[in-house]
Structure formats: C-alpha cells, structure tokens
Amino acid sequence: MFDAPIRRRVRVFGRVQGVWFRDATRRRAHALRVAGWVRNREDGSVEAVFEGPPDRVEAAVAFCRTGPPGARVAHLECRDEAPEGLTDFTIRR
C-alpha cells in the first residue's frame, strides 16, 4: 500500500547556524529520499520543508529536533502544508 506524500515545514531555533545544520539536513534528506529544501533565516533560525512518504518525512523532522554535532536546538516549530510535488532536496541561500 502506498502512503500519499505529506509536507512538513519546520523552523529550528537555537544554535543552528554556523554548525553545518543545512548540509547535514540535506544529507539526511537524501538518505531518507525525501524532497524539499533548507535555508538559514535572518533571525538565526533554520527553516526546512520536507515532502515524501509520512514515515520518511517524520524521520527528517526528528533529525531536526537535535541536528548535527555542534548544534543546540532550543525548540522546533512544525506545521503541515499541502505537498507541491517537489522531486529533489536543495540548500537555499
């Protein structure tokens, strides 16, 4: 049985810039085979969108709750969105 794709947008707050958070998120998304993007925000947070099968998207969101070594996640905001049919995962500037 195929699960319909879902989309989650996350904002990660804490010490999440300058610790390779975006690249680690991209690598995790590729390993999980989910689409989307990740970018730094001017307020010091990191924003990411994940699209794909629910279990894989949830695994990507779970990664963001701790991030790579060196990151210190204070809190994470997550919301559902309608999938857009993304096919790759990129780092946005």
Q: What is the DSSP letter of 17?
A: S
Partner residues linked to 56 by β-bridges: none
Q: Is 9 a catalytic residue?
A: no
How many C-beta atoms surround the C-beta of residue 77 within 10 A? 11
* Catalytic pick among 15, 27, 39, 40: 40
Candidates 8, 22, 28, 56; catalytic one: 22
Let me know: does 65 contact 76? Beta carbons within 8 Å. Answer: yes
Write down the residue that tokens 């990740």 correspond to.
Answer: 38
Residue 22 designated active-site:
yes
Active site residue ranges:
22, 40
